[in-house]
Amino acid sequence: MSDTQMDPPRWAHALLKSFVRPSDTESIPGDLLEEYREVKRPLLGRRRADAWYVKQAFSVLWSVVWPCVVAIAVLRILSFPLPRGWNPSLVPAPGASLLDALVFLWAGYYGSQRNGRLSTGIVTATVTSVLGFTTFFIYAAITRPALLLAPFANPFIFVIMTVLLAIAVTFGIVAGMAGAAAGRWFPPSRWRTRLS
Amino acid sequence: MDTIGQFEQAVLVALVRLGKEAYGRAILNEVQKRLDREVSAGAVYATLERLEAKGLASSTLAPGTAIRGGRARRYFVPTAAGVRALSDAKSATVRMWRGLARPLKVRT
């Protein structure tokens, strides 16, 4: 197999491309592809070279989504001690409240106006919803360790958790789409022009 | 005056060292070599973007090679403000260490 036939995982390549600025869609994937083909693949073999590429793609993703993840994690941690009902929720599930919606809207807006693509905004909001949901369970497991073992005693809890995750992710995608559309078609400069 | 962080310094120094060969992949490898640790591509590209936004570096696109599927390379150079910021950072470090003998002795 020649060097130019060695390709990293397609999904990682697509993910990487959706998170770089339009002006970098050639240079950044090209840099990583060059390193992958010239050094990593011959040196590490396919599996480890693929793992290296995926790690780099996620590092680029993280450099975009981290403010949204920090925002949702802080929201989760601050909201736990507050009494129920202060943050109304569409459905009785974590990750579907009014404040969650605002964070997902902002994540979608931020992602799409940063890179000028709807897909970046939607993926940013989706990643934010998944990690926000994870934060909820980490916090719950720390405060009530028995919760960690509960699914093993009653495997149906895994099904419930999957449904709750699906609700949170769907909510993140829908709110993210709205935010991304706003970011794509109404960049900050247009808001400023309208307000002035 | 622009103040720069340690990682920004490492990236700017890499641009100075690499000269005309300073493109993404080479910068990533140079920073890893000098810091003697693994560095993520995301951290380096985010820093390059920030340096450009601050006016401390500028970039131009050049044609790519076959091994990178013909994708363009983005070459970076430090601007005059970038070189000044780097010199200021170096001077600040030298001033901070002046009068201290190395290696430092630990008092027990």
CA distance A193 to chain B (A): 23
User: What confidence tens digit (pLDDT) does each residue in A118-161 have?
Assistant: 888 999 999 999 988 888 778 778 888 887 777 777 888 888 88
pTM above 0.95, yes or no: no
Comparing CB atoms, the residue among B24, B40, B49 nearest residue A31 is B24
- Give the right CATH number for B6-97 from 1.10.10.60, 1.10.10.10, 3.40.50.12660, 3.40.50.11060: 1.10.10.10
User: What confidence tens digit (pLDDT) does each residue in B60-98 have?
Assistant: 999 988 888 899 999 999 999 999 999 999 999 899 988
CA distance A32 to chain B (A): 7
Q: How many Cβ pairs within 8 Å bridge chains A and B?
A: 72
- What integer pLDDT is reported at residue A143 of this predicted model? 80
Band (A38; pLDDT cuts 50, 70, 90) = very high
Q: Nearest residue on chain B to A19, judged by CA atoms?
A: B42
Which residues in chain A touch residue B47, judged by CB atoms under 8 angstroms apart?
none
List chain B domain ranges: 6-97
Exposed, middle or buried, A45 (CB in 10 Å: 0-12/13-18/19+)?
exposed
Would you call A60 an interface residue with chain B, using a CB distance cutoff of 8 Å? yes
CA distance B76 to B24: 8
Region B31-57: what's the mean pLDDT?
Answer: 95
Peptide bond just before B103 cis, omega within 30 deg: yes
Q: For chain A, how big is the Rg over CA atoms in Å?
A: 20
Q: Which of the pair, A97 or B80, is modelled with greater confidence?
A: B80
Residue B47 pLDDT > 80: yes
Q: What ipTM, to 2 d.p.? A: 0.88
At position A128, the amino acid (one-letter code) is: T
